[in-house]
Amino acid sequence: MTASSIAGLMRLADWNGRLRLTDEDRDRMASGVDVLTERAAAGERIYGVTQGFGPLVGYETHARSSDLGMGLISHLGVGQGRTLPPDVTRFMVWLRLDGMRRGHSAVTPERWLQLADLWNRGFTPVVPREGTVSASGDLTPLAHAALAYAGVGEAWVASAAEGWSTAPAAATLSGLSCSPFDWGAREALAFVNGTSASLSVICHNYRAIGSMARAAAALTGRIAWLLGANDDPYSEELATIRGHKGHARAAEWVRSELVPTRRDPARPLQEPYSLRCAPQIIGAVLDHLDAQEPILVTEATGCTDNPVVMDGSILHGGNFHAAPLGLCSDLQALLVHQIAFLSERQLSLLLDPGFNGGRPPMLTPHPGEASGLAGVQLAATAMVARIRQMASPATLTALPTNLGNQDIVPMALNGATACADMIDLGWLVLGSLVVAVEQLTHLCGVESCSGTVWAELQGGFRPVVEDRPLAEEVRGSALALEGAARSWLSETPISAGEL
What predicted TM-score, i.e. pTM, was given to this entire model? 0.96
Whether residues 149 and 240 share a domain: the answer is no
Within a domain: 25: yes
Whether residues 337 and 457 share a domain: the answer is yes
Phi, psi dihedral angles at 115 (to 5 degrees): -70, -45
pLDDT of residue 174: 97
**Would you mind telling me the total number of residues written for the chain in this entry?**
499
Residue 400 maps to which CATH number?
A: 1.20.200.10
Whether residues 239 and 373 share a domain: the answer is yes
Query: Could you tell me the residue range of the domain that residue 455 belongs to?
Result: 202-491
pLDDT of residue 79: 98
Within a domain: 1: no
pLDDT of residue 158: 87
Contacts of 475 (CB under 8 A, 6+ apart): 428, 431
Within a domain: 23: yes
Whether residues 69 and 159 share a domain: the answer is yes
Whether residues 100 and 175 share a domain: the answer is yes
pLDDT of residue 448: 85
In the chain, how many domains are there?
2
CB contact at 8 A, 138 and 195: yes
Nearest-angstrom CA–CA distance, 85 and 396: 26
Whether residues 156 and 211 share a domain: the answer is no
Tally: H helices and E strands in the chain: 18, 7
Nearest-angstrom CA–CA distance, 180 and 148: 8
pLDDT of residue 379: 98
Within a domain: 292: yes
Contacts of 126 (CB under 8 A, 6+ apart): 83, 89, 144, 148, 153, 154, 155, 156, 166, 169
Whether residues 188 and 206 share a domain: the answer is no
Within a domain: 497: no
Whether residues 125 and 246 share a domain: the answer is no
Whether residues 447 and 387 share a domain: the answer is yes
CB contact at 8 A, 154 and 181: no
Nearest-angstrom CA–CA distance, 260 and 257: 8
Whether residues 188 and 211 share a domain: the answer is no
Residue 384 host element (H or E):
helix 374-390
Domain final position from 131, 159, 194: 194
- Is 311 buried (19+), middle (13-18) or exposed (0-12) by CB count in 10 A? exposed
Residue 190 maps to which CATH number?
A: 1.10.275.10
Q: Would you give per-residue pLDDT tens digits along the chain (499 residues)?
A: 568 899 999 999 999 999 999 999 999 999 999 999 999 999 999 999 989 898 999 999 878 888 999 999 999 999 999 999 999 999 999 999 999 999 999 999 999 999 999 999 999 999 999 999 999 999 999 999 999 999 999 999 986 667 899 999 999 999 999 999 999 999 999 999 999 999 999 999 999 999 999 999 999 999 999 999 999 999 999 999 999 999 999 999 999 999 988 999 999 999 999 999 999 999 999 999 999 999 999 999 999 999 999 999 999 999 999 999 999 999 999 999 999 999 999 999 999 999 999 999 999 999 999 999 999 999 999 999 999 999 999 999 999 999 999 999 999 999 999 999 999 999 999 999 999 999 999 999 998 888 899 999 999 999 999 999 999 999 999 999 999 999 999 876 664 445 5
Cα distances from 384 to residues 51, 65, 356, 432, in angstroms, run: 49, 51, 22, 12
- The count of C-alpha atoms lying within 13 angstroms of the C-alpha of 350, restricted to the half-sphere facing its C-beta, is 34
What distance lies between CA 244 and its chain's CA centroid?
A: 25
Nearest-angstrom CA–CA distance, 34 and 22: 18
Domain final position from 168, 194, 220: 194
Nearest-angstrom CA–CA distance, 211 and 217: 10
What distance lies between CA 492 and its chain's CA centroid?
A: 20
Task: Give, rounded to a whole angstrom, the gap between the first and last alpha carbons of the chain.
Answer: 20
Whether residues 394 and 474 share a domain: the answer is yes
Alpha helices in 395-470 (DSSP H): 412-444, 453-459
Give the chain's radius of gyration (CA, Å): 26
Contacts of 18 (CB under 8 A, 6+ apart): 120
Domain final position from 194, 217, 246: 194
Within a domain: 496: no
Within a domain: 498: no
pLDDT of residue 496: 46
Within a domain: 171: yes
Whether residues 268 and 303 share a domain: the answer is yes
